[in-house]
Structure 1
């Protein structure tokens, strides 16, 4: 079986690449999907539908276009990793975690210990909490090959 792993959350560090490289080095039976990680492209996803003077409507249209991809990839994944960084609040990642939970999809949260408290409900719904991409690779190694 090839496992589909959805990578959600923070886009300002290379955690996705670290997980992909770690899994590739171990020849794990996984493939990865993700939301659009180019911030500018994501923000502009709805721009072709017409210019908006009010930023709320621009964000609203782009959010709906982006959710087509996100919703489908979450529904198709076998497991997900939801990354919360320290610098920005990733409301979209929290929403993804809630949707994963509602869909009955297992997910792992990835974040430092200094944000345990604000993520307590998200972590309670997760199957595991990891602090490093290396820990994610070890979990994926276990669940895909044990």
Structure 2
């Protein structure tokens, strides 16, 4: 407590007081999952290729989407740093977008990731490739063309 302050004007901590929050970018641990982040995660988990183990990745994508939305809102509101520049928020926006793109790629949600996935499915499994190679070698041995 400030010893030289005015005790009569001090108030105890108010539970749930979020007055000082601006964008929530630096919110501490223990916060409940933002409803929008939960909505994004639920939507992602409905994809056919997901499994329950993918939930953490889906939640992370949802959290990143919420943070990006908050930064965009702050930029739209004209939030600036001391020198009148929005540079810090712009840098944060760029970093968040990069992280989101990486997570979306991991989750198979970019056109390139889907194309790679389709290519991998069309190419067959590693086991199928080994079996095809063995069959080709067996044919060569039967024909007397086996490598020596």
TM-score by length of 1: 0.29
Greater fraction strand:
1
TM-score by length of 2: 0.29
Query: Greater RCO between the two (CA within 8 Å, min separation 6)?
Result: 1
